[in-house]
Amino acid sequence: MHWELNADLAMRHTMGCPARAERMVTVANIDDIRRVLSELTSTSVPAFVLGGGSNVVFTRDLAGVVINMGNRGVSVDASDSSGDIVRAAAGENWHEFVWWTLEQGYVGLENLALIPGTVGAAPIQNIGAYGVELKDRLHSVRAIHMDTLEEREFSLSDCCFGYRDSFFKSEPGRRWLIWEVAFRLSAETPLVLEYAELKRRWELDGAPCDARAVAKLVEAIRTEKLPDPVQLPNSGSFFKNPIVSAGHFLALNEKFPDIVSFPLADGSRKLAAGWLIQACGWKGFLENGVGVYPKQALVLINPGHKSGGEVKLLASRIQASVEERFGVPLEVEPLIL
């Protein structure tokens, strides 16, 4: 366990906004976690859990303690006819874990390659990409309550996963610290290749023959499309794709025939937030060191390492213009603190 005073948070989140934590502790195992939480609860000190910082934007210094997840370890726990239960510690790097599973011969996580961050944060917003969501592969989550220190295993249904959403994003859910995530994986899982952008690529270059080839294809697409936070600070997609009713979609489609959308099973439509933002003229916008990525309007960038307040202000301007033009509210995806 390692303590740091007045810790620099700019280097610990991918948007790179200047901020500091009064104290930061890096925990290496569940005993560290129990010890830190029992000290914090007995002194009523506020705590915030940080993974890789790829889905959080700091607008201010944080009082209290930031708990930096440094626990590591991956193991195969049990097997049955539908696969193996593979457990990974929350502090494991997500992309490295994906490749570990692929190298063991498992199929299932390849579409989620190259998503930044840690294993422990992956269930928080039910990470998803190229037609697969975390919930499609998750078995359970082990977590500890930050106030009562109760330890609990959450089953797939306990997690209440939705689009970029889970129980852990709710008010009661935020009090649980995830220390281990278990996946149900098998070598027999069919590849998911139907997502439009993937399909376009493999129809040109030939279908990938196995899960590792899919991961490499996903990596190539992502590297082309998304900025590397080390070179250009960003938090990935800054807004969720909004979901509108069938009626609202028909009205929009009449007025904007080239609007990009995806039909959902219940008849509603998911709109491409990037298209809405681009249609409002924001793509490539840059002012005072904060802007919108020229290749993908859904990504806000912070090349000037400006404050989280400046990023938030730009996000509000984008939300207001999209709402005014299309009558569609955009919901921010990363946590803004």
Ligand X SMILES: Cc1cc2nc3c(=O)[nH]c(=O)nc-3n(C[C@H](O)[C@H](O)[C@H](O)COP(=O)(O)OP(=O)(O)OC[C@H]3O[C@@H](n4cnc5c(N)ncnc54)[C@H](O)[C@@H]3O)c2cc1C
**Rounded CA gap, 90 and 72, in Å?**
7
Q: Does 229 bind ligand X (CB under 6 A)?
A: yes
The residues facing 152 across adjacent strands are: 143
**Rounded CA gap, 35 and 47, in Å?**
13
**Rounded CA gap, 301 and 294, in Å?**
10
Query: Of these residues, 137, 164, 184, 201, which one is catalytic?
Result: 164
* CB of 111 or CB of 319, closer to ligand X: 111
Q: 44: alpha, beta or left, given left = phi > 0 and alpha = psi -120 to 50?
A: left
User: C-beta of 56: minimal distance to ligand X in Å?
Assistant: 4
User: C-beta of 116: minimal distance to ligand X in Å?
Assistant: 4
Rounded to the nearest 10 degrees, the angle between the axes of helix 211-225 and helix 94-103 is: 150
Q: Could you confirm whether 34 is annotated as catalytic?
A: no
Residue type, 222: R
Q: Could you confirm whether 333 is annotated as catalytic?
A: yes
Subset of 98-137 contacting ligand X (CB under 6 A): 115-118, 120-122, 124-125, 127-129
Q: Does 177 bind ligand X (CB under 6 A)?
A: yes
Whole-angstrom CA distances from 335 to 11, 61, 283 are 17, 15, 22
Site string for ligand X, 42-71 (x = CB under 6 A): ------xxxxxxxxx------------x--
User: C-beta of 27: minimal distance to ligand X in Å?
Assistant: 10
Q: Could you confirm whether 140 is annotated as catalytic?
A: no
Query: Of these residues, 140, 237, 261, 307, which one is catalytic?
Result: 237
**Rounded CA gap, 195 and 23, in Å?**
43
Q: Could you tell me the two tokens for 36?
A: 């830190």
Q: Does 189 bind ligand X (CB under 6 A)?
A: no
Footprint on this chain of ligand X (rule: CB under 6 A): 14, 48-56, 69, 90, 115-118, 120-122, 124-125, 127-129, 177-178, 226, 229, 234-236, 335
For the annotated catalytic residues, the residue numbers are 164, 237, 333
